[in-house]
Amino acid sequence: MRKLSCVLISVALILIPISPCAGSGAIAGDASEPLDQYVSGMSIEEKVGQLFMTTVIGTELSAVQAQLINKNHAGGIVLYSYNFQNTEQTVRLTDMLQRNAGNIPLLIATDQEGGRVTRLPMGTNMPGNMALGASRSLENASRAGAVIGRELKALGINVNLAPVLDVHQNSSSSAIGIRSFGAGPQLVADMGQAYLKGLREAGVIATVKHFPGHGDTALDSHAGSPVIPYDLNRLRNVELRPFQQAFNSGAGILMTAHVAYPAIDDTSSYSSKENRYLYIPATLSFKVLTGLARNEMGFKGVILTDALHMKAVINYTGSQEEAAVMAIKAGADMLMVHTGLEKASQRVIDAVEKGEISVFRIDQSVKRILELKLNNGIIKISGGGIARGDAFSLGIEERISRAGAIVGGQESRAAERSAAEKAVTLLKNENILPFKPEAGSSIVFFAPSKESLAVMESAIESAVKEKGLNNVRVRGFAYKLLGGLTDQHKIALGGADFVIHGTCSYNEEERSPQGWRAAFSNDLISRADALHTPLAVMAIGDPYDIAFIPGAKAYLAVYGTAGGPNVAAGVNTIFGLNNPTGKLPVPIPGSDGTGLLYPEGHGLSLFSAAP
């Protein structure tokens, strides 16, 4: 009962201005006064707490979790898919998080990038960054940021961990792939700038990531220790260009990459976990975070680490607690820890008390975090203390009502569909498209997974209906892990008038000519050719699948996932309901990752004008 009492008391504290007193973390004075005098009144525990962004489990805030946040003075919370159920639940969750935050309201963040990485089951996902890059439309990118931003703000989420500014230079990258706007540094910079503009106009703080770049690594830093070996001249011209443009426009948060850049910092340390020497990851490097981002490139905002439990960091430091200390020394302002908040926080406090980290260094980060919150209406200075900012001016029931009208609304869905259709890229068409079914036609389709089966079926049926056709038979099969056609497939193909083959891969291994995807696809294409049945291939994920199915006579890329608007946009294109205008935002190499099948900028149309 004592724990619950602490939680309820914290609710009362947050609702009124806090009078200045020793150790309270109170702000004295008004917004025109320097933040340092406010920070000087905070205890070391309160200061260190502001440096941590952590997680909560589930769709409701338990008393135990509320006390953990309050006791440790957490500066931020990051929410994941498991935290979201519906609109009302999410508004109530973010409200309870803020009411139990202690003296200073929280940064509440999520990864709603769009496309492949989205967290909201009820939100408007938009087609994703590479799809936006394919459209070459700054207006689409800005609208994507605005649509996503409005929905997040309505739900009580004030930080989007987006956009991704990694330049996609490696076709085998599974970590980034279609999360990137493309392979051209200026394309990524311009599209990212437009996306940032949309988020800013919606009143949500943007996070540019993953600095100084994660776009040319085959290895995911969740699973290992990636290295980008290029010299500084290449890095400045490619990886760093989008970040510099974002810094110049006043980006609020920078998220670090757990990637080593020996051309910037060649510090190395022996890893007992890896049994070898490893270069220092950017997240832990003073030369990268302070020397490059702060001093050379002029970043003024908050530096947030990617999650500190990831292998690229733990392999180097041995523990999350040591990673926290090293990251602060390097220049990070906020540390993302999913679990182990108390241990990591205490390790940093101990480091300060022992003189390992100076109070001055902690104060620098606290000031940046409070300034970010102040500038975005999360806090305000009132009555001699910190109070909840203008972002909390509406009551909970009114916020729920507003969110219900905004999240997943018709206007947002229309923008999503339009952006997805403008992204569709037709790479190859040997007089196969558009399909022109008639009443009584049979359409057979193959989906790469059970998840995409229902999405493709719905999209095909909608397209047939829009064309005003009756009695069209639609039959689909999921072929995951199958190395070739089954007897059932062959029978269905024998009666098909049109065939749609959905493919989906996200890395080079999945596109191996020896893998099941290639085996099934080539068997299907050969069978359709023998039957003289028109077949169109739709690459649902990465656009590179054509490398392992060179026999395809019609091939289009939609840059999406099993869900989202991309599949429907691709299907509409196959049936001539959308004239594709997308251009490849990346080059397509051969099946071995070398050579060039299609250059960046390639893209065909079905019609000279929109149908």
pTM > 0.75: yes or no: yes
Residue 525 lies in a domain: yes
How many domains would you assign to the chain?
1
* pLDDT at residue 29 in the model: 42
Residue 607 lies in a domain: no
> Is the pLDDT reported for residue 18 higher than 70?
no
More confident residue, 16 or 483: 483
Residue 522 lies in a domain: yes
Separation in Å, CA 255 to CA 88, 141, 145, 448, 509 = 29, 20, 18, 33, 28
Catalytic residues: 222, 306
How do beta strands 473-478 and 442-447 pair? parallel
Proportion of the chain above pLDDT 70, given as a percent: 92
278-337 pLDDT, tens digit per residue, is 999 999 999 999 999 999 999 999 999 999 999 999 999 999 999 999 999 999 999 999
Proportion of the chain above pLDDT 90, given as a percent: 82
Residue 28 binned pLDDT confidence (cut-offs 50, 70, 90): very low
Residue 559 lies in a domain: yes
Across the range 387-409, mean pLDDT stands at 91
Cβ pair 336, 161 in contact under 8 A: no
Residue 31 binned pLDDT confidence (cut-offs 50, 70, 90): very low
CATH number at residue 456: 3.40.50.1700
**Share of the chain residues as helix, strand and coil, in percent rounded to the nearest 5:** 40, 15, 45
Tokens of 466: 């829009």
Contacts of 102 (CB under 8 A, 6+ apart): 10, 13, 14, 25, 46, 49, 69, 70, 73, 74
* pLDDT at residue 220 in the model: 67
Residue 128's nearest CA partner among 142, 139, 118, 137 is 118
> Is the pLDDT reported for residue 20 higher than 80?
no
481-526 pLDDT, tens digit per residue, is 888 999 999 999 999 999 999 999 877 778 888 889 999 999 999 9
Contacts of 431 (CB under 8 A, 6+ apart): none
When mean pLDDT is compared over 25-29, 60-64, 511-515, the highest value belongs to 60-64
CA angle (410, 416, 419) in 5-degree steps: 140
126-140 pLDDT, tens digit per residue, is 999 999 999 999 999
Across the range 422-438, mean pLDDT stands at 98
Across the range 82-111, mean pLDDT stands at 96
* pLDDT at residue 383 in the model: 61
Query: Could you identify the residue written with the tokens 């739709």?
Result: 538
**17-21, 370-374, 378-382: least confidently modelled range:** 17-21
> Is the pLDDT reported for residue 544 higher than 90?
yes
Residue 4 lies in a domain: no
How do beta strands 442-447 and 425-429 pair? unpaired
Residue 492 lies in a domain: yes
> Is the pLDDT reported for residue 266 higher than 70?
yes
Residue 84's nearest CA partner among 124, 114, 123 is 123
* pLDDT at residue 165 in the model: 98
* pLDDT at residue 279 in the model: 95
Range of the domain at 536: 424-574
Separation in Å, CA 450 to CA 52, 180, 477, 487, 561 = 39, 26, 8, 19, 12
Q: What is the mean pLDDT of the chain?
A: 91
Residue 242 lies in a domain: no
* pLDDT at residue 219 in the model: 67
Across the range 92-116, mean pLDDT stands at 95
